[in-house]
Structure 1
Amino acid sequence: MANIQVFECTGCQKQFVQRKWLCPVCKGTSFTKTAEEGDGKVFSFTRIHVTSKEYAHLAPYTVALIDTPSGLRVTGRLSEEVQINDEVKCVEKDGDAYIFERV
């Protein structure tokens, strides 16, 4: 299982999946980089059938919002179809994309 990269504000401990330069909660500018296990549940999803040439070899694929046990919401890609509340795990990171599979 692959880990999800997390950025935590040192001022208020708010966690983010995307890197921030300024914390929107406390306006802090210092962050630590950590990781958490890549498991969670599908919050929402869409199935992509038509895409740009760059991703045509992947189609059709699913893009989903995954809720992690710690409360983060991560965008991920799956090659299989899913339903809301399906349990998934992150199996790899492809560039900036997290790749998930159903558990």
Structure 2
Amino acid sequence: MKKLKVYSCCGHDTVVKRVYCPSCGANEISEREVEDKGSIYSFTKIHVPPSEFAHLAPYYVALVQLDGTSAKVTARMTEDIAIGDQVELDKVEDGAYLYKSV
């Protein structure tokens, strides 16, 4: 099972490592690993993508609420999805998180 790193401060969780907390400005940010599973929080289906992604269309760009944290991650998916669907990380490709339905 893959793990993702989550960075936390003052109740604000993110998957992006920062020098300062975006909520309170503190520089004491904790780091922990979380499971790569979550649920679909929001999504949109891309029919006409930028030219560098034309070979992928149609595809979904989804916001995944990670289990056990308030952090969300932007993911790309190719299968049909709905709000609340359970998903897990399949792989990271060229810096993009590719998720699949569980």
TM-score class normalised by the smaller sequence: 0.7 to 0.9
Residue equivalent to 2:17:
19
What is the alpha-carbon distance in structure 1 between the residues aligned to residue 53 and residue 5 of structure 2? 23
Displacement of 1:6 after TM fit?
2.1
Aligned residue runs from structure 1 range 42-57, under 5 A: 42-57=40-55
Displacement of 1:26 after TM fit?
3.1
- Contact kept, 8 Å, 2:7 with 2:16, in 1: the verdict is yes
Specify whether residues 2 and 92 from structure 1 end up closer, same or farther in structure 2 by C-alpha distance, changes over 3 A only.
farther
Residue equivalent to 2:84:
85
What is the alpha-carbon distance in structure 1 between the residues aligned to residue 95 and residue 24 of structure 2? 27
The number of residue pairs the alignment matches comes to 101
What is the alpha-carbon distance in structure 2 between the residues aligned to residue 75 and residue 4 of structure 1? 13
So what's the TM-score if we normalise by structure 2? 0.83
So what's the TM-score if we normalise by structure 1? 0.82
Residue equivalent to 2:2:
2
Give the secondary structure class of the aligned counterpart of 2:39: strand
RMSD: 1.9
Unaligned runs of 5+ in 2: none
Of 37-46 and 65-74, the range deviating more from structure 2: 65-74
Unaligned runs of 5+ in 1: none
Displacement of 1:47 after TM fit?
0.5
One-letter amino acid of the counterpart of residue 47, structure 1: K
Seq. identity, %: 36
Residue equivalent to 1:63:
61
Give the secondary structure class of the aligned counterpart of 1:22: coil
